Amino acid sequence: MTHRRHLAVLLVLLLCAAAGLMTALVMGSLPVRPADVWAALTGGSGAMADVVLQLRLPRALGAFACGGLLALAGALMQVLLRNPLGDPYVLGISGGASVGALCALLFGLTALWINLAAFCGAFLVLLLVFGLAHGEGSWVQSRLLLTGVIVSAGCGAAVSLILSIAPDQSLHGMLFWIMGDAAYITQPLPALLVLLAGVLLVLPLARDLNVLVRGDTQAAALGVSVNALRWFTYFLAALLTSVAVATAGSIGFIGLVVPHLMRLVLGNDQRLLLPASALGGGTLLVLADTLARTVIAPQQLPVGVLTALIGVPLFLYLLARQGRSA
């Protein structure tokens, strides 16, 4: 695929993202006409503008950022593990975030404090996993993963413990957090900035990652500094995941499925796949979140359930189609 075609694909995905965001701003218990949305975005005021700017825009942008972060982290983990089953949560980051967030919920803290506690939990796990797995040699990669799996299991037990001792009135909020819910988004800006920084950091490395997919030996023979690249990418993926789960809880499925969807449609060139995953993941999560808050309004569903309900059939369809053509 040529450079120009890559740019065309990204432009189309960018338009899809804009359309997805517009859908999120238009839809809701109070329908807003696209013209009013435009007016609100370009400086209008009034009740409509308040709904759009105060309620829907931060949530839509936050959902977009989280979806993009998870999909980008998932795409990176799949390259690092050279395994299509790679997922942003394999290093146990979401477990740490869950423990942090649930503790905050247990003590009755709200809003920003939950996000902060979740990020602290995620970051502590990240330091723990990388600290324990630090060293030289090929065994380090497996040790990193094993450490992640074990820490994840430990966090799972802590989560169960908190759930079992938590008072009934906070259980609902806890369950929504564990499944992932964009209602926890208070401030979308940090996640958006981290997403932008993440994409800008991986793009210059994308061709090195293309070579890394072919195996460590091949990559080293072609002049890639394999160890440095691996550690940097692991750490970056873990950090992106931390920010995503701290913002909206551990939303499942996006990180595993979006890179796959993109790979099935666009191929495995990381120069296209990484930005496309970020855009596609963001768009999918915005649409899922819009559905989550409108489908049985006024009641809201956790968006993590919707991502799975949309993602599973879409993914199975593409997989079956590819199976027939191959």
Residue 30 is encoded by which pair of tokens? 């109070």
Q: Is 221 in the site for another protein (CB under 8 A)?
A: yes
**Backbone conformation region of residue 109, classed left if phi is above 0, alpha if psi is from -120 to 50, else beta:** beta
CB neighbours of residue 41 within 10 Å: 14
Q: Is 85 in the site for another protein (CB under 8 A)?
A: no
Residue 312 is encoded by which pair of tokens? 């599973």
Closer by beta carbon to another protein, 46 or else 267: 267
From the list 10-18, 189-197, 242-250, 262-270, the region that binds another protein by CB under 8 A is 262-270
Q: Is 263 in the site for another protein (CB under 8 A)?
A: yes
From the list 100-108, 179-187, 210-218, 297-305, the region that binds another protein by CB under 8 A is 210-218
SS3 for 106?
A: helix
Q: Is 230 in the site for another protein (CB under 8 A)?
A: no
Closer by beta carbon to another protein, 144 or else 226: 226
Binding mask 233-252 for another protein (x = CB under 8 A): --------------------
Q: Please pick, from the candidates 215, 296, 313, 316, the single residue that binds another protein as defined by CB under 8 A.
A: 215
Q: Is 218 in the site for another protein (CB under 8 A)?
A: yes
What backbone phi and psi angles, to 5 degrees, belong to 89? -95, 0
Q: Is 223 in the site for another protein (CB under 8 A)?
A: yes
Q: Which of 21, 17, 19, 16 is nearest to 52 (CA)?
A: 21
Q: Please pick, from the candidates 204, 298, 323, 324, the single residue that binds another protein as defined by CB under 8 A.
A: 204
From the list 20-28, 89-97, 185-193, 207-215, the region that binds another protein by CB under 8 A is 207-215
Question: 155 and 95 in contact (C-beta within 8 Å)?
Answer: yes
User: Which residue is it, tokens 């915005």?
Assistant: 286
Closer by beta carbon to another protein, 78 or else 115: 78
In the complex, least distance from residue 222 CB atom to another protein, rounded to whole angstroms? 5
Distance in angstroms (rounded) separating the CA atoms of residues 77 and 111: 30
Closer by beta carbon to another protein, 35 or else 324: 324
- Number of residues binding to another protein, judged by CB under 8 A: 26
Q: Is 268 in the site for another protein (CB under 8 A)?
A: yes
Give the contacts of 11 (CB within 8 A, at least 6 positions apart). none
Q: Please pick, from the candidates 197, 269, 300, 315, the single residue that binds another protein as defined by CB under 8 A.
A: 269
Alpha-carbon distances, residue 167 vs 100, 161, 299 (angstroms): 17, 12, 22
Question: 259 and 273 in contact (C-beta within 8 Å)?
Answer: yes
Chain mean position to CA 248: 9
Question: Dihedral (C-alpha) 248, 282, 303, 174: value to the nearest 10 degrees?
Answer: -10
Distance in angstroms (rounded) separating the CA atoms of residues 16 and 25: 14
Question: 285 and 307 in contact (C-beta within 8 Å)?
Answer: yes
Q: Is 210 in the site for another protein (CB under 8 A)?
A: yes
Closer by beta carbon to another protein, 276 or else 285: 276
In the complex, least distance from residue 207 CB atom to another protein, rounded to whole angstroms? 6
Q: Is 19 in the site for another protein (CB under 8 A)?
A: no
Closer by beta carbon to another protein, 36 or else 208: 208
Closer by beta carbon to another protein, 167 or else 324: 324
DSSP string for 169-229 = HHHHHHHHHHH--GGG-S--HHHHHHHHHHHHHHGGGHHHHHHHHT-HHHHHHTT--HHHH
**Contact footprint for another protein (CB under 8 A):** 2-3, 82-84, 204, 207-208, 210-211, 213-215, 217-218, 220-225, 263, 267-269, 326
